């Protein structure tokens, strides 16, 4: 086994890690400790969490039909809880049981729910399709004391950006192009930080992330091809629209394909920035590079067309890149080589769009159109053979090339995809 991260035989090594496994979570056969961390033979589905009563005890994916309303899963900073939001539901994934369920106050799909750091899992921030940013105060007796709206976007709000150590401040981004800074200590918590623009045109936002090594800086992405980095200390909208610097793959700068950024994340130390493009690839940028710098790595094989697809780093030092795909699979690339080292069927409904790694252990939570959140861990008895990978990659490329001929706007493609999905579901029920 090489200690450089991974190989195409499916045996993956979490490099230079400080991961540890307790007896209740992982046996010696499931993950062997090595000098460089934990050697992962292959990932396997450990359990699934679903809203129905029978699902809490299931160890495999639910076969229930999807309504298309599943949007988000998240893990808190302790790794103990996973969320299945709409009417917000909090699960203790280790015990396979729901801890708390409450009315979030949102009027539409909840896209993200996150515990604020250092809050003792008592303050939960949420954003949703209705544009509201809400905060729930939870008690130690497993009940919700109150929820309140702290900000309102004029359009959907897909993502929140937490500051790593702050229990009271965070950012939100919306399709109205606005970034709010929210301070729960204030009587009026929300202040408009910036309106994202390209020249004079507003750019709706899908994603936002705070640099963990420099919390004054944050990155946003949305309805154009540019990753924008801002510094909260020096935003002057009269100068370069307040942007500190922008990144974009050079072949997309003047491209007519209407590339959109559906998700971006910083690495564990803020040195790198990962961006997933709608019906394009995933790109890695060096966050210290100057304005307009080219990407450093490119990750291919998946498909990001339906819905707002997530992407994330995986591993204690961001050694891997993980993404869902419209084909229903989860792809795992070794960051340094861009090689696919793991490939798993993640969603019977056809789309995996949310992925949240455990903060300390080699565990991953994913969700898509199925009615459950799936928890993945390195428990498989045999190494991954990546069986069927070439065929899936080829099919994804063919479908992407066909769609690119039509230059479909992302919103229109989402609507068409949902209509086709519901038609298939109705035919299935009638059959």
Q: Which domains does the chain have, with CATH numbers?
A: 42-430 (2.130.10.10)
Report whether pLDDT(390) > 80. yes
Q: What is the pTM assigned to this prediction? A: 0.77
pLDDT band of residue 402 (cuts 50, 70, 90) is confident
pLDDT of residue 91: 62
| DSSP per position, 292-308 | TPPPSEEE-S----SS-
Segment 46-73 shows an average pLDDT of 37
CA 305, CA 309: separation in Å to the nearest integer? 8
pLDDT tens readout for residues 317-351: 999 999 999 888 999 999 999 999 999 988 777 78
pLDDT value of residue 89: 60
Between 306 and 85, the more confident residue is 306
Distance CA(317)–CA(340), nearest Å, equals 18
pLDDT reading at 410 higher than 60: no
Residue 427: pLDDT band (50, 70, 90) is low
pLDDT of res. 67: 32
Backbone region of residue 269 per phi and psi (left: phi > 0; alpha: psi in -120 to 50; beta: other values)? alpha
pLDDT at residue 69 is higher than 70: no
The percentage of the chain sitting over the pLDDT mark of 70, rounded to a whole number, equals 71
pLDDT of residue 182: 98
Q: List the one residue out of 425, 426, 412, 264 whose CA is nearest residue 350.
A: 425
Residue, of 328 and 18, whose pLDDT is higher:
328
Average pLDDT, the chain: 78
| Residue 371 reports pLDDT greater than 90 | no
Instruction: Classify burial at 47, counting beta carbons within 10 Å of its beta carbon; exposed 0-12, middle 13-18, buried 19 or more.
Output: buried
Mean pLDDT, range 377-402, rounded to an integer: 88
The pLDDT assigned to 220 comes to 99
Rounded to an integer, what distance in angstroms lies between the CA atom of residue 321 and that of residue 332?
6
pLDDT value at residue 405: 72
User: In the predicted model, what is the mean pLDDT of residues 51-67?
Assistant: 31
136-160, pLDDT tens digit by residue? 988 776 677 788 999 999 999 999 9
Specify the pLDDT at position 77: 54
Model confidence at 73: pLDDT above 90: no
Question: 270: left (phi > 0), else alpha (psi -120 to 50), else beta?
Answer: left
Q: Average pLDDT of 213-238?
A: 97
Given a cut of 50, whether residue 364 has pLDDT beyond it is yes
* Tokens describing residue 184: 């729960």
Asked if the model's pLDDT at residue 382 lies above 70, the reply is: yes
Close Cβ partners of 228 (under 8 Å, ≥ 6 residues apart):
196, 219, 220, 221, 243, 245, 246
Residue 218 near residue 211 (C-beta atoms within 8 A): yes
Average pLDDT, stretch 239-254?
96
Q: What is the pLDDT of residue 430?
A: 60
Phi-psi region of 5 (alpha: psi -120 to 50; beta: other; left: phi over 0): left
Separation of first and last alpha carbons in the chain: 50
Both structure tokens of 70 = 């599943």
Q: What pLDDT digit, counting tens, does each position of 263-310 carry?
A: 999 999 999 999 999 989 999 999 999 999 999 999 999 998 877 789
Nearest to 211 by CA among 192, 233, 194, 185: 233
Average pLDDT estimate for 174-189 = 98
| Continuous segment of H or E residues that includes residue 113 | strand 110-115
> What is the mean predicted confidence (pLDDT) over 9-16?
33
Q: Which residue has the tokens 């046996």?
A: 27
């Amino acid at each position: 086994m090489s200690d450089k991260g991974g190989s195409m035989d499916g045996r993956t090594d979490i490099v230079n890690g400080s991961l540890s496994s307790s007896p209740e979570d992982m046996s010696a056969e499931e993950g062997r400790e090595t000098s460089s961390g934990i050697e992962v033979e292959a990932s396997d589905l450990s359990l699934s969490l679903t809203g129905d009563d029978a699902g809490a005890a299931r160890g495999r994916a639910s076969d229930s039909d999807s309504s298309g309303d599943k949007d988000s899963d998240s893990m808190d900073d302790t790794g103990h809880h996973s969320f299945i939001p709409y009417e917000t539901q909090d699960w203790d994934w280790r015990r396979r049981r729901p801890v708390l369920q409450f009315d979030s106050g949102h009027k539409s799909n909840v896209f993200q729910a996150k515990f604020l750091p250092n809050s003792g899992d008592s303050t939960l921030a949420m954003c949703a399709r209705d544009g509201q940013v809400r905060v729930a105060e939870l008690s130690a007796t497993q009940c919700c004391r109150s929820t309140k709206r702290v900000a309102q976007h004029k359009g959907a709000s897909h993502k929140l950006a937490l500051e790593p150590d702050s229990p009271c401040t965070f950012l939100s981004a919306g399709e109205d192009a606005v970034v709010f800074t929210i301070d729960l200590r204030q009587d009026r918590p929300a202040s408009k930080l910036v309106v994202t623009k390209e020249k004079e045109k507003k750019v709706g936002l899908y994603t936002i992330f705070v640099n963990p090594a420099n919390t004054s800086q944050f990155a946003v992405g949305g309805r154009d091809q540019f990753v924008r980095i801002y510094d909260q200390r020096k935003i002057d909208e009269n100068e370069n629209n307040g942007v500190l610097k922008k990144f974009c793959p050079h072949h997309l700068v003047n491209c007519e394909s209407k590339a959109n950024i559906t998700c971006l994340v910083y690495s564990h130390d803020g040195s790198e920035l990962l961006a997933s493009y709608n019906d394009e690839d995933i790109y890695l940028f060096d966050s210290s590079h100057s304005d307009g710098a080219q990407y450093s790595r490119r990750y291919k094989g998946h498909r990001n067309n339906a819905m707002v697809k997530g992407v994330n780093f995986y591993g204690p030092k961001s050694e891997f890149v993980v993404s869902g795909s419209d084909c229903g699979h989860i792809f795992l690339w070794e960051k340094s080589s861009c090689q696919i080292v793991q490939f798993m069927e993640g969603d019977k409904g056809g789309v995996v769009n949310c992925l949240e790694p455990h903060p300390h252990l080699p565990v991953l939570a994913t969700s898509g159109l199925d009615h459950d959140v799936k928890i993945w861990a390195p428990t498989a008895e045999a190494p991954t053979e990546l069986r069927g990978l070439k065929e899936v990659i080829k099919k994804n490329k063919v479908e992407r090339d066909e769609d690119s001929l039509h230059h479909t706007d992302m919103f229109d493609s989402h609507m068409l995809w949902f209509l086709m999905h519901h038609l298939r579901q109705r035919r299935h029920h009638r059959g």
